[in-house]
């Protein structure tokens, strides 16, 4: 039998005869034709050099991120990752055995996950963290279900400014148990949450949790978040926080957060087509048995030496399904390793200095864009760290960003929900900087923005 092509014509005929069918097509007769993709149309076989040339031609159409001045805001970061991160992540003892829900997980990986949990606990000011989840959005979804397990109700409150992707994930999580996700209005000048709305919603009853993001979906810091727990009382407060921001901001646990989730991609994980990502989750110790995923604990072996073990596993594969808190089948251990190595290499003072440097670059960008006729930057009168919202006075964000792309500038993310039935256009853009952003790139953005808006004004 050929090495790469499993069946020769004679073998295929014998298989069809044994199955008592006349063609391979009959194997798929139960699949509706509209669900099939048909033939791929890749043509006859070609020799290897020809295939390599063709693949190279296709790859040449790619536009690598490094070829653009990148100002994309949002939850995906383009921060520089020290070479030590890839060096450690690529070691075979980590790379080949990184799924620790099996009992034979290595002590090395278990120790890394214990350190990872400890880092997130320290940043959040809470008691216990799990060994990671898939990404920040699903971590928020798990937090929604967590809140429902520890408090009665049918309504979950979120900022109206929450990114539409995360709102969609939350709504998917809520749909099964018949829960509702409701938006909290914001002040149009500052972007801050309407705390009076929260008071009224809590007073009306049936609220089982509230999520606030730090920074918020506009990139700004909402000082009112610290007052939410005083309004909620025993209703759980979830804070979705950027890990780097917590190197300079007060830990959410200190102002009453019951759960803190986040996206860890910016700590040593490249923005490769939007992933892989890393979900972060921490809670208070009294609610640990309602938490999703698994937790690694420190103990001693029979010889009295330090050892690590899976202390808590809440997946239905490990305990009775009726008592399981999540169907999360594994965790992002390799990404958690990258997060841990990054945080260790940069260090606590280094993280704070990095955030301060990014904030300074963001102010430089805001000043440059604020001087462009047709742009209001920042749109909201509120503090910010590395991201902020820009508003156009003419044209749409989609058109403006397309004109910037032609000039090798990724100008930001349009703040628009593309789902059916939602507003189809927007004049607001979330922009951001990283430690890799240069003064030259900032000025390039400002020049490209002037040209793009001038062209829009002429209808070009």
Q: Looking at residue 260, what is its pLDDT?
A: 98
For position 175, what pLDDT does the model report? Answer: 95
CB atoms within 10 A of CB 195: 17
Query: Which is nearest to 139 in space by CA: 241, 243, 263?
Result: 263
Cα-based distances in Å from 415 to 81, 95, 211, 423, 429: 28, 37, 19, 10, 5
CA distance 193 to 199: 11
The distance from CA 70 to its chain's CA centroid, rounded to whole angstroms, is: 18
Q: Are 116 and 132 contacting, i.e. CB atoms less than 8 angstroms apart?
A: yes
Average pLDDT, the chain: 90
Residue 418 in contact with residue 258, Cβ under 8 Å?
A: no
Residue 137, pLDDT > 70, answer yes
Instruction: Return the sign of the alpha-carbon dihedral for residues 388, 391, 392, 398.
Output: positive
Instruction: Give yes or no for residue 315 having a pLDDT over 70.
Output: no
Q: What is the pLDDT of residues 18-56, one digit of tens each?
A: 999 999 888 888 999 888 887 777 677 788 899 899 899
Task: Express each pLDDT in 215-238 by its tens digit.
Answer: 999 999 999 999 999 999 999 999
Domain 65-78+347-458, CATH class in plain words? alpha beta
SS3 assignment, position 121: helix
Average of per-residue pLDDT across 84-107:
74
Order of strands, edge to edge, in the sheet holding 428-432? 375-376, 387-392, 428-432, 413-414
Is the pLDDT reported for residue 313 higher than 80? no
Interval 359-402: pLDDT, tens = 999 999 999 999 999 999 999 999 999 999 999 998 889 999 99
Range name among 288-292, 326-330, 345-349 with the lowest pLDDT average: 326-330
pLDDT at 332: 86
* C-alpha closest to that of 139 among 292, 249, 24: 292
pLDDT band, residue 421 (cuts 50/70/90): confident
| CA dihedral of residues 97, 98, 101, 102 (deg, nearest 10) | 0
- What are 64-84's pLDDT values in tens digits? 888 999 999 888 899 999 999
Whether domain 83-342 has CATH 2.60.120.380: no
What are the CA-CA distances from residue 382 to residues 102, 215, 220, 226, 389 (Å)?
47, 11, 6, 15, 10
DSSP letters, 256-299, are T-SEEEEE-TTTT---STT----EEEEE-GGGGGG--SEEEEEE
Q: How many CB atoms lie within 10 A of CB 188?
A: 9
Cα distances (Å, whole numbers) of residue 274 to 188, 417, 436: 30, 18, 18
Instruction: Give the whole-number percent of the chain exceeding pLDDT 70.
Output: 91
Beta-carbon count within 10 A of 401 CB:
19
Share of the chain above pLDDT 90, in %: 70
What pLDDT was estimated at residue 2?
A: 47
User: Which of 104-113, 167-176, 366-375, 392-401 is least confident?
Assistant: 104-113
Residue 422 has pLDDT above 80, yes or no: no
Q: What pLDDT shows up at residue 246?
A: 98
Domains of the chain: which residue ranges? 65-78+347-458, 83-342
SS3 percent helix, strand, coil of the chain, rounded to 5, is 40, 15, 40
User: How confident is residue 310, by pLDDT bands cut at 50, 70 and 90?
Assistant: confident
| Residues paired with 413 in a beta bridge | 430
Question: How many other C-beta atoms can be found within 10 angstroms of the C-beta atom of residue 66?
Answer: 8
CB atoms within 10 A of CB 152: 10
Comparing 65-78+347-458 with 83-342, is the CATH topology the same?
no
């Amino acid at each position: 039998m050929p090495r790469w092509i499993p069946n020769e014509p004679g073998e295929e005929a014998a298989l069809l005869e044994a199955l008592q069918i006349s063609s391979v097509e009959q194997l798929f007769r139960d699949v509706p034709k509209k669900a099939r993709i048909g033939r791929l149309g890749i043509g006859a076989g070609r020799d290897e050099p020809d295939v390599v040339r063709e693949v190279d031609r296709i790859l040449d159409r790619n536009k690598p991120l490094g070829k653009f001045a990148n100002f994309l805001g949002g939850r995906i970061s383009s921060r520089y990752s020290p070479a030590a991160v890839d060096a450690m992540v690529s070691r075979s003892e980590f790379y080949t055995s990184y799924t620790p829900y099996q009992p034979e997980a290595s002590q090395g990986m278990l120790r890394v996950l214990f350190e990872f949990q400890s880092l997130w606990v320290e940043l959040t000011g809470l008691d216990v963290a799990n060994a990671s989840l898939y990404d920040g959005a699903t971590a928020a979804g798990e937090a929604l279900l967590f809140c429902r397990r520890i408090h009665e109700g049918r309504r979950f409150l979120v900022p109206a400014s929450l990114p539409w992707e995360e709102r969609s994930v939350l709504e998917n999580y809520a749909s099964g148990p018949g829960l509702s996700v409701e938006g909290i209005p914001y002040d149009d000048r500052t972007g801050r949450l309407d705390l009076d709305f929260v008071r009224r919603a809590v007073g009306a009853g049936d609220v089982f949790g509230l999520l606030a993001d730090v920074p918020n979906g506009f990139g700004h810091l909402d000082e009112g978040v610290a007052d939410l727990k005083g309004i909620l009382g025993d209703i759980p407060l979830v804070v979705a926080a950027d890990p780097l921001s917590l190197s300079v901001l007060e830990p959410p646990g200190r102002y009453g957060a019951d759960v803190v989730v986040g996206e860890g991609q910016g700590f040593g994980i490249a923005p490769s087509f939007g992933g892989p990502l890393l979900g972060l989750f921490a809670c208070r110790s009294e609610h640990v048995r309602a938490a999703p995923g698994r937790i690694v604990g420190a103990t001693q072996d029979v010889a009295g030496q330090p050892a690590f073990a899976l202390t808590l596993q809440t997946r239905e594969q490990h305990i009775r399904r009726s008592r399981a808190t999540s169907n999360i089948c594994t965790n992002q251990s390799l990404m958690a390793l990258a997060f841990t190595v990054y945080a260790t290499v940069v260090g606590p003072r280094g993280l704070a200095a990095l955030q301060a440097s990014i904030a300074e670059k963001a102010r430089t960008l805001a000043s440059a864009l604020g001087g462009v006729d047709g742009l209001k930057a920042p749109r909201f009168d509120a503090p910010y760290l590395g991201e902020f919202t820009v508003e156009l006075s003419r044209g749409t964000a989609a058109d403006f960003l397309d004109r910037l792309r032609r000039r090798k500038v990724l100008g930001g993310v349009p703040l628009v929900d593309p789902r059916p039935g939602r507003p189809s256009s927007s004049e607001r853009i979330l922009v951001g900087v990283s430690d890799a952003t240069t003064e030259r790139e900032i000025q390039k953005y400002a020049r490209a923005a002037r040209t793009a808006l001038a062209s829009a004004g002429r209808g070009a």
